[in-house]
Amino acid sequence: MIRFRNLAEAERVAKRRLPRAIWLAVKAGNEQGWTLDENVRAFSELGFSPTVFDRPTNFDLSARVLGIDVEFPVLVSPVGAQAIHPDGEVGVARAAARAGTAIGLSSWSSDSVADVARANDSTIFQLYWVGSRPEIEARVEAARAAGAKALIVTLDWSFTPRRDWGVPPAPPSDRSISTLARLAPHALSRPGWLMGYLRRGRIPELRVPNLVTLDGRVPYFGKAWADFEATPPPTWDDVKWLRDLWGGPFMVKGISTVRDAKLCVDLGADAISLSNHGGNNIDGTPSPLRQLPYLVDAVGDQVDVMVDGGIRRGSDVVKAVALGAKAVFIGRAFLYGLAAGGEEGVYQVLQVLRNGIRETMYGIGRGSLSELSRDDLLLLNPHFFVPPTR
């Protein structure tokens, strides 16, 4: 069984195991990758002042987000196409359940919301605005029937998937001989990875069951993506309609301005997530961490404020919570664990983060998340905070 002591080890193992094209799809951000690096860099510009007296002996790491109680403030982010290991999203869901936390499930996932919700009863379904309102309504009702506890609408994708180091082959639009021939060299370059699938009697493919059409067809990723690109972006009224349709706990993901945060409050959102899509929105966007305090001050008493991007250690989670986040989402961090060791690898990632949170809080003399504040942080860069321009 694979073991690793930190996420850097998990990342190295994942890189060795995955075919190069898949690794690039997991790792890379947009264009030159400035924002991808910035998301990680921002955490290194905040520090702590450890104490040696009055250190806690008990810790309360629990949080409540979107009406869901979690044992520590780390949730699995909705990430599309987790066909990087045969365990897929169901394995990730099981790992999150074992760790005592929730999973956000993407519309672009390889496993259905029904299967994932059976594996983790704290499943949050993430919806992209793809297709017509009747199609979107059918997906919302499928998530409700499956037992999803909350709904996320993600709005921060800008269709700019250009990468200076090259773009991996587009996900398949079918299962034709020509498609299999085009992708076969990538799979054969990592025979161990491919054999992991074959031993389970399956091949890695990218159908997207949560984007099923009204006539019951399950499209391949490429076809669904073409439909996404052809769909006009949602208006504020569309998102309000979606919020009213769902009726339960509702989050808007991808917020980076005070104006947008206040609009989310106006439409009745219960939570917002500050995000630049893990460096895959507009390259040159600052880390959400730098803007977090401003948005917390603006709307934090009205909605739960979450953040994602660049979290690689438990101390990163403590920094985000100290700046006002209710909890964080992790994306690449758990994908490294999934690629390295399937369900068990994801569970190990979550345990590494949980232990890091507890160790950091011990070092700064805080026994519960509610005790954390901005006073616990040191600014190592006097220009760290970036006020939103709007």
Q: Which residues contact 36 (CB under 8 A, 6 or more apart)?
A: 28, 29, 30, 278, 279, 280, 283
Query: What is the C-alpha separation between 29 and 277, in angstroms, rounded?
Result: 9
Burial of 370 (0-12, 13-18, 19+ CB in 10 A): exposed
Phi, psi at 312, each rounded to 5°: -130, -5
Given 85, 186, 277, 383, which residue is catalytic? 277
Q: Is 277 a catalytic residue?
A: yes
> DSSP E strands: which ranges in the chain?
46-48, 63-65, 68-70, 74-76, 103-105, 123-127, 150-154, 250-255, 271-274, 304-308, 327-330, 377-379
CB 379 within 8 A of CB 70: no
- How far apart CA 11 and CA 311 sit, in angstroms, is 13
With b meaning 16 or more CB within 10 Å and e meaning fewer, what string describes 149-173?
A: bbbbbbbbebeeeebeeeebeebbb
Two structure tokens written together for 173: 């639009």
Nearest to residue 152, comparing CAs of 277, 298, 23? Answer: 277
Using CA atoms, how far residue 195 sits from 14, 85, 327, in Å, is 16, 11, 37
Catalytic residue annotation: 277
